[in-house]
Amino acid sequence: MSDASTSRRSFLRQLAVAAGAVVLMPRVTACGGSGAATAEPGGPSSRPTLATDGSAAVPVPVPRTQPDGWDPVEFNRARGNAGAIPESYLGDINGPDGDWDHLGKHLPWFPELDPALVPAGYVGIMWGDPDKGHTPHPNAPRGPANNHEGHWYNWIRVRKATDEEAQELQSTYTDWPGTNPDDSGAYAVHGGGEITDNAGKNTIYLAAVPPDVRPGDLVRIYAHCLTHGEYVDFVRYRG
Ligand SMILES: [Fe+2]
């Protein structure tokens, strides 16, 4: 292992330990009257956060396990139309290119990566798998094109796909292309180069994996794009 990769790995480990991934306890707020328990991470003051399984504002619950006949495009379209995706994007997801260019673009996949890029306890995630014909998801810093909100995933929750009680870990990303030292998530770059190359499509999100997840397990990835809302899918964890 090169000195550079060793120091990057140490840095990421340090970051993971120092910031800590937020542990979500989906059952904790089950008795809440409003149900509005899904806290949006925004920075140090917002942690730790608790979340329910699924957004209270959306009458389409997020399944704990992959349902029979699971179709992530159709599920996310239905949940998006029910409120998980901003109204301004509904025309796109329901349009002729919605499946690949808009819904598929926001679905997670695990690229094959040099292990040196991924700190222990983390997994690399990208969005919009070209092998499935999906459009890779771009990323953009805050600017006029995105109401100065930025375009990237600002939280990712990883949970073993099981009906049993299981830990869910949330990683946060409050900036792109830079990182905030208070975030529990981090970035790497697919294929090397600058993270901003190729409209940010080479960005790898390093997200914390709960300790009960083993190679070969199906995991649920539940995440939020700042511009385009929430998306859910199940992906096989290779370790
Ligand atoms: Fe997006």
Condensed to tens digits (0 to 9), the pLDDT of residues 31-55 reads 222 222 233 333 222 332 334 443 4
173 falls within a domain: yes
25 falls within a domain: no
pLDDT tier at 58, thresholds 50, 70, 90 = confident
41 falls within a domain: no
* Rounded mean pLDDT, 21-32: 35
pLDDT at position 35, please? 26
pLDDT at position 23, please? 52
Q: Model pTM?
A: 0.80
Domain of residue 200: give its range: 3-19+60-236
52 falls within a domain: no
d(CA 239, CA 78): 31
d(CA 220, CA 237): 10
182 falls within a domain: yes
pLDDT of 184 higher than 60: yes
Start-to-end Cα distance in the chain: 19
pLDDT of 95 higher than 90: yes
Ligand 1 centroid to residue 19 C-alpha, Å: 25
Ligand 1 centroid to residue 149 C-alpha, Å: 12
Ligand 1 centroid to residue 155 C-alpha, Å: 12
Ligand 1 centroid to residue 235 C-alpha, Å: 19
Ligand 1 centroid to residue 3 C-alpha, Å: 35
pLDDT at position 55, please? 47
112 falls within a domain: yes
Ligand 1 centroid to residue 227 C-alpha, Å: 5
Task: Output the domain CATH number for residue 76.
Answer: 2.60.40.730
29 falls within a domain: no
Paired with 219 in beta bridges are 160, 235
pLDDT at position 59, please? 86
Report the domain count for the chain.
Answer: 1
49 falls within a domain: no
Ligand 1 centroid to residue 151 C-alpha, Å: 6
d(CA 186, CA 53): 24
Q: Identify whether 144 is preceded by a cis peptide bond (ω within 30 of 0).
A: no
Token readout for 58 is 């959306």
Ligand 1 centroid to residue 161 C-alpha, Å: 24
**Strand 186-189 versus strand 168-172 pairing type:** unpaired
